[in-house]
Amino acid sequence: MITLDRLVNVLGGYGVRLCGRPEARSAWLRSVAMPDAGDRHVTGDLLLAVGSRSIGEAVRAAAAVEATAVLVRPAGNGSRADEEREAAELGERYGVAVLLADPAVSWSKLAGVVYGLVLESRETASGRGPTDLFALADSLADVIGGPVTIEDRHSRVLAYSRSQQAGDPARWRRSSPDACPIACASCSSSRGSSPGWRPRTSRCSCPPTPGTD
């Protein structure tokens, strides 16, 4: 459980902004929900509008489940100012606090922070996720229909979905504290990437750390 004000302050570090409805900052958030095509009775104080095609669709979905707030990641087709104006107007009309995310920030990263703060009430700026991040990654993967990797601000892998193992082996091995060989970081740096990230178009050929396969 956490106040919307606290959540907005933490998410602000990830480029999220509350559009309008400043009075909603004092509201308590006790649960999180995501749209589920197989469940018409989704409920939650905060709706993660994963898969929503527009801000309007996300806000209406939040109002339909009587959510206090909705986190939306717009497509980024319009200007930021126009998106914030639209979000504020829709939020006022439907009585929902609209949190607008940066399109460049992944849903897996946002969800990890949100679930950690709301469900575990971890009062830390990092917003670390729930105890079972792997279960969260699997849930997100089912919703978005693709592999999910949850990382911290420094691109360190915290967890991954089951489908992730079919992707870049050097990447998902890094979710184990002892499974990130130094060679992987060196290999990444030599290709012009940060030690915690490499483009998916190039697989790392570094051997795994002994005992981690």
Q: Which run of H or of E encompasses 159?
A: strand 157-160
Kindly give the parts of the chain with pLDDT less than 50: 122-131, 172, 174-191, 193-203, 209, 212-213
pLDDT at 138: 74
pLDDT at 35: 74
Taking only the tens place, the pLDDT of each residue in 114-146 is: 888 887 654 444 444 444 567 677 777 777 778
Q: Which two tokens stand for residue 23?
A: 């009075």
pLDDT at 75: 81
CB-based contact 129:42 (threshold 8 Å): no
For residue 145, the number of C-alpha atoms closer than 13 Å in the C-beta half-sphere is: 4
* Alpha-carbon span 19 to 66, nearest angstrom: 18
Q: Which two tokens stand for residue 158?
A: 């915290």
Q: How far apart are the first and last CA of the chain?
A: 38
Taking only the tens place, the pLDDT of each residue in 56-83 is: 999 999 999 899 999 999 887 778 899 9
pLDDT at 39: 58
* Alpha-carbon span 24 to 29, nearest angstrom: 11
Q: Alpha helix (H) ranges present in the chain? A: 4-11, 55-64, 80-94, 107-120, 133-144, 169-173, 182-190
Amino acid at 51: G
DSSP state of 15: T
